[in-house]
Amino acid sequence: MDAWLSDAREAVAAAAGVPPDELELSDGDAATLLELARIAAHESGERTNAPLLCYLVGRAQREGVDLDTLADAVRRNS
């Protein structure tokens, strides 16, 4: 994780009142999210859909669904 993203994680964790390690982003998760962002931008033709899709995936993960399941759903839909 680069310095900017690490600082952003710290700020988000502080605002959410959670320890920063609860927002740890593994290399595999980062790769999956970047793939989903690529799919959203290219398939829709709108780059703005990339961060919005990643936000939706994050919201769904809060409900207990794992990232791989969500990524598979997006891949099947594209």
User: 65 lies in which domain range?
Assistant: 25-78
Q: What is the mean pLDDT of residues 12-21?
A: 96
The pLDDT mean for the chain works out to 94
- Helical axes 67-77 vs 49-62, angle rounded to 10°: 140
Q: Is the dihedral of CA 60, 62, 63, 66 positive or negative?
A: positive
16 within some domain: no
14 within some domain: no
- Per-residue pLDDT band for 55 (boundaries 50, 70, 90) equals very high
Asked which of 10-14, 15-19, 60-64 is least confident by mean pLDDT, the reply is 60-64
Q: What is the pTM of this model?
A: 0.86
- Domain total of the chain: 1
pLDDT, position 78: 87
* Token code pair at residue 30: 């980062």
